[in-house]
Amino acid sequence: MTIDVSAGASLLASPVRRLIVDTLARRGAMTAAQLGDIIDLHVTTARFHLDQLVAGGLLESRFQKQVGAGRPRKLYAVAPGSLEPSRRDSEGLQVLAELLAESLTAGENGEPLSPAEAGRRWALEHVSDTHTAAADTPGRWLAKVGEMVDVLGDWGYTPEVTTTNGGRTARINLAHCPFLDLARKNPAVVCGIHRGLIAGAMERLGEEEADVSLEPFVAPFLCRAHVTTQTPFKS
C-alpha cells in the first residue's frame, strides 16, 4: 500500500509521531512499552500515537504469541509501502533529475552550474513573480515564507514552520525528503539544490536578500531549513 504524502501530513506534523515512525523504521517491530522506553514516552501516550498512526495507514499492528503463559504481545511496525514515494514525489524526482543534469552543464562563464544555482534558476523560471517589495513586518514576512512553503509542498514535503529572532527567521522542518536515498549519498548536491530552490522562490516573492541555510538529517527522516530576512522591520 502506498500512502499519499498529503494524507499523512497531519499525522507527521507532530515531532513525536515523526520520531515514532523514524524509530520503528530503523529498529523494526516492537511493543508500545519497548518504544516508550527508547524514546522516553509513557506507554499510554506511546500507544495513543501508535494507534493513530495505524489508523492513518503509516503503521501496522499484529499480535505475537509469547512462549508459555501470558497474553499475546501487540507489535507495531511501519506499514509496507507507507514510506514509498507517491505520484507527486515521482514528479519531484523528475524535476530533480533535470536539475542534476542542468548542474552539469556549462553556465554563462563556461563553468558547470553549482547545485544551488541550478535550483535557484529553476525556481526563478517556475515560481510566480509577485512583484511585491520585501516584507517589513513579521506578518508580511511570514506570509512570504508561507508561499514558499507551498512550493515545497508541491515537491512532496510536509513542512512545519516556526519563527525565531523576533519573527525574522523562519525555521522549516522538512519531513520525509522525497529524495532521501540520493540525499544520503550526495547531501552536498541534493541539499545544495534545495537551498537554491528556497532562495530562488524567496527571490521571486520579493525577498532577494533573504539568507538561506539548510541542516541535513537533524533526524533520520528530517532536514531543517533556516530562512532569515535582512530587511529591517518597522518599529
Q: Report residue 57's pLDDT band, with 50, 70 and 90 as the boundaries.
A: confident
Q: Tell which wins on pLDDT, 98 or 89.
A: 98
Question: pLDDT digit string (tens) for 189-202?
Answer: 778 888 998 999 99
Which residue type, as a one-letter code, is found at position 179?
F
- Which domains occur in the chain, in start order? 5-78 (1.10.10.10), 87-228 (3.30.1380.20)
State how far the alpha carbon of 130 is from the alpha carbons of 117, 123, 148, 206, 226, in Å.
21, 13, 12, 7, 22
pLDDT at 208: 92
pTM for this prediction: 0.59
Helices marked H in the chain — which ranges?
9-12, 15-27, 32-39, 43-55, 87-103, 115-126, 138-154, 180-185, 187-204
* 183, 177 contact by CB (below 8 A): yes
In the predicted model, what is the mean pLDDT of residues 17-39?
A: 88
The three three-digit cell numbers of residue 190, written as one number: 541534493
pLDDT at 157: 72
Which residue type, as a one-letter code, is found at position 8?
G
Radius of gyration over every alpha carbon of the chain, rounded to an integer in angstroms:
21
Q: Report residue 3's pLDDT band, with 50, 70 and 90 as the boundaries.
A: very low
Question: pLDDT digit string (tens) for 106-141?
Answer: 555 666 678 888 888 888 888 888 778 999 999 999
